[in-house]
Amino acid sequence: METVSETRCFDGVQGVYRHESTATGTPMRFAVYLPPQARRGPVPVLWWLSGLTCTEENFITKAGAQRYAAEHGLALVAPDTSPRGLDLPGEHDAYDFGSGAGFYVDATQAPWASHYRMDSYVTEELPALVAARFPVDPARQGIFGHSMGGHGALVMALRDPDRFRSVSAFAPIVSPTRVPWGEKAFAGYLGDDRAAWTAYDAAELAADSAWRAPILIDQGDADPFLGTQLTPEAFVSAAQAGGIPVTLRMQPGYDHSYYFIASFMADHMAHHARLLAR
C-alpha cells in the first residue's frame, strides 16, 4: 500500500492511500482520518460512502467531519466510488453509470463484472486492509453516506447487522429498483432480472432485516432529486413495517450538495458516536 499523503488535522492525521485491488483488478485510492485518540489504541471506525461522480476527496475536503471525529474519537474511512483507469466501452459517457458510479454492487454483466465489484471491495477487501494497517476496532463499526452512498450504507447495514452498530444517511437513494438512477445502473450492472436487484434495495431489505438500532436520515426539501430519485418515504414505511426505528428529518431549504451535508454532519457524527460507544 502506497501513502499518497498524510496531513495533520485537528491533532489527528488525514491520509490518502493507494493500493492494487484484487476485487476490482485496478489501483484504488481511499482516505483514512485517524483521530488523536488512535495514538493510544484502537478506535471505532466509521465508513463513509460517497455519491455519484465523487472520489474519496469530496468527503475529506467538504464535509467538515474531521473536527467531530476528533472530538468523538472516531476513525473515518472513505473509499472511491468506482474502479478507475479501465476505459471500458461507454464507461465515461454518463455521470450516473460507469466511472464514479459503481452503486456499491457486484456487477454480473460483461464488461462490468470483472472490475465493478464495489460491494466486495467495500465490505471485504478494504476492511481487511484497513484493520491490518490502522488502529481501528473491527467490533465497533458504523457506516453512512450520501445519495448513491446513502443507498450503499443502508443496504450494507441492513444486510449485516452483526458487523455494523450504526447507520445514517444524507439524501439516500432508498429504493433504487424504482427510480431512474437505480434502474439504469442495475440494468447495466446486474442485467434484466429485476428479482436480482432487490438484494441492493434498502426498502426491500428492511422488511426482513434483523437491524434494530435507530437510523438517522436527513433530506433537504429543496433537493431537486427528491421527488424523482430519492423517495425517502418509501424507506420509512418499509422500516416501520419491519420494526426498525428510523428518524427522517426534512430540512427546509436545503439541496443535495455538500453544503447540506456539512450543515448536519455534527448530528450524524454524534449519532454514530453514541451507538459505537456501547
Contact 119, 105 (CB under 8 A): yes
CA distances from 206 to 21, 103, 152, 234, 246 (A): 31, 18, 14, 10, 11
CB neighbourhood size of 135 (10 A)? 15
* Nearest-angstrom CA–CA distance, 72 and 68: 6
Q: Cite the DSSP H helix spans in the chain.
A: 56-62, 65-72, 118-120, 126-133, 148-159, 180-190, 194-197, 202-205, 232-241, 258-276
* Nearest-angstrom CA–CA distance, 81 and 47: 13
Q: Is 256 a catalytic residue?
A: yes
50, 82, 147, 168: which is the annotated catalytic residue? 147
Helix (H) or strand (E) run with residue 145 in it: strand 136-146
**Cβ density class 227-250: b for 16+ within 10 Å, e for less:** eebbbbebbbebbeebebebebee
223, 268, 271, 272: which is the annotated catalytic residue? 223
Closest residue by Cα to residue 199 from 158, 148, 239, 236: 158
Q: Is 223 a catalytic residue?
A: yes
The percent of the chain in helix, strand and coil, each rounded to the nearest 5, is 40, 25, 35
Residue that is written with C-alpha cell 456499491 in the block: 104
Q: How far apart are the first and last CA of the chain?
A: 32
256, 268, 271, 272: which is the annotated catalytic residue? 256
Q: Is 151 a catalytic residue?
A: no
Catalytic residues: 147, 223, 256
